[in-house]
Amino acid sequence: MLVVACKEDDPGDGGSSGSAGTSSGGPVVLADNECKDLAPIHATPACDGCTRDVCCSVVLDCDRSRDCRALLNCLLPCKKGNLDCSAKCRAEHEPGGSMLPPINTCAEKNCPIPCGTAFIEEG
């Protein structure tokens, strides 16, 4: 639901591993943790599932912050690469922006197959 840059799985790289989802965007299975019922934070289901599964603590930090949640909700309708939209969201919800890098770092480190070089659109 949120604008991100996540690479598609390369059919030759063994596909997605673990319980975070499939490379075809099929069902996403999450661990039974506090993040399973939160709104999606990444547009690619497998990346979103993996991030909420293994990066739950930083995702919860954002969810508990009114500013970060507002920023994520604003970024939701922005299309990938629409810098005007993401810049407007960042300007309107500036305090929330400091909470996105930890999510991005965790996703890139712990979810490399479904997320690639994932990032929540930062303008």
**pLDDT tens digits along 43-75:** 778 888 898 899 999 999 999 999 999 998 888
Cβ–Cβ under 8 Å, residues 44 and 6: yes
Q: Does residue 118 carry a pLDDT above 70?
A: no
Domain ranges of the chain: 11-115
Question: Is the model's pLDDT at 8 over the cut of 70?
Answer: no
The letter for the amino acid at 49 is G
Q: Which residues of 15-41 are buried (b: 16+ CB within 10 A; e: fewer)?
A: ebebebbbbeeeebebbeeebeebebb
pLDDT for 9 beyond 50: no
Is residue 122 within 8 A of residue 100, CB to CB? The reply is yes
